[in-house]
Amino acid sequence: MASTFETGVDRRGTACIKWDFQEMDYGRSGLLPFSIADADWPTCRPVLDALKKRVEQGVIGYTDIAPEYLAAVAGWCERRHRWKIETDWIVPIGGIVPGICNLLEALTAPDAQVIVQPPVYDPFYSVIRASGRRQVDNPLLLDETGYHMDFAGLEELCKNGASALILCSPHNPVCRVWSREELARLAEICARYHILVISDEIHWDLALGGREHTTMGQFPRLYEHLVVCTSCSKSFNVAGLETSNLIIPGDKVRQTFRDYLFARYLFCPNTLGMVAAQAAYEGGEAWLDEALRYLTANAKAVVDYMRENLPKVKVAEPEGTFLLWFDMRSYGLGSEELVRRIAEAGAGLNAGSHYGAGYDGFVRMNIACPRKQLMAGLECVKKALEG
């Protein structure tokens, strides 16, 4: 029998952004979508069963954070990420993006310089702006072996007064699963300059091809200035439940942040989101392993397809996340024009220029969908580029 990864689900008519709101991005609808970062397959059985049971009980009232929930999160950290945490360190919050905005407001000065490493997930830019902080860029370096962090550039910005860094790990959109050595070097610099490290690890469960993600939680020297942002929203495809967990080992930072949340009544987490996360962390491990195998095979299918059919497109090595990053600069077209042509051919992808200045000519593709849909999307890309 075909797996649910293979069959997927028809999401049309559920007000889902990817399928039902294409007009806004592409000026047309009916495209095969490979855009916003959720998957086109259902979450795992334990999550569905737990949600059903909770809904059947009939009251979705105000709910506090159960010890079982915290134990499930801590258990996942230890089993999947080799990070032993105190349950006290867990601060459940809604989405990670609003969480980062709150963190900047609570933990940095109003004129703080905040480092980002473009090309990177574009809401980082928005929340820095929205919180009135100043964005300072340490662009990733690209050579023939792929993307790397610019440690000299990072140190320079720290020296020049930056006080926080938003790290994306694994990195959306360049698919890097940063190595332990790279992260240790980053941790050393940030600890030396007392930089607040907001480590967005929303994709932490999605290291592909048997790779291992290293959480910044592995570097205790950072603990007085560290927030690790985690969620099961990407790995278990429950992003609409807007539930995540900030893990904050440093007492002072955590207390300051908790006080900020309490003063704003931001302490009541999403009831069904917590039900889903607990079930995923308690019973979803085998399903996640299967999802990772499927995603790894999807990534390979894309790399092979490009090599055979569109050799002018350079695909960043898909180490992690389900968002692939294509360098299409050899076609001499800007990202918006590339995306427009691909949409005309029937598929919806994201313009690389959204992820930072200097990435015109790049395009991002979400591969978390049935293989058949993925291959049909690649045919559209080929038709758009090669006719």
The site for ligand PLP (CB under 6 A) is made up of: 37, 95-97, 121, 168, 172, 200, 202, 231, 233, 239, 244
**Cα–Cα distance measured from residue 332 to residue 353, given in angstroms and rounded to the nearest whole number:** 14
Nearer to ligand PLP, 34 or 305 (CB): 34
Nearer to ligand PLP, 37 or 248 (CB): 37
SS percent in the chain: helix, strand, coil, step 5: 45, 15, 35
**Cα–Cα distance measured from residue 312 to residue 62, given in angstroms and rounded to the nearest whole number:** 54
Q: Which residue carries 């569905």 as its tokens?
A: 48
Nearer to ligand PLP, 261 or 345 (CB): 261
CB of 239 to ligand PLP, least distance (A): 5
Rounded to the nearest angstrom, the gap between the alpha carbon of residue 193 and the centroid of all alpha carbons in its chain is 26
SS3 167: strand
Nearer to ligand PLP, 19 or 305 (CB): 19
Sign of CA dihedral 82, 173, 164, 127: negative
CB of 51 to ligand PLP, least distance (A): 18
Rounded to the nearest angstrom, the gap between the alpha carbon of residue 275 and the centroid of all alpha carbons in its chain is 21
CB of 101 to ligand PLP, least distance (A): 10
CB of 386 to ligand PLP, least distance (A): 30
Nearer to ligand PLP, 18 or 133 (CB): 18
Name the token pair of 274.
């917590």
CB of 57 to ligand PLP, least distance (A): 26
CB of 333 to ligand PLP, least distance (A): 25
Measured from each CB, the residue nearest to ligand PLP is 95
Nearer to ligand PLP, 94 or 346 (CB): 94
| CB 266, CB 58: distance < 8 Å | no
**Cα–Cα distance measured from residue 368 to residue 374, given in angstroms and rounded to the nearest whole number:** 8
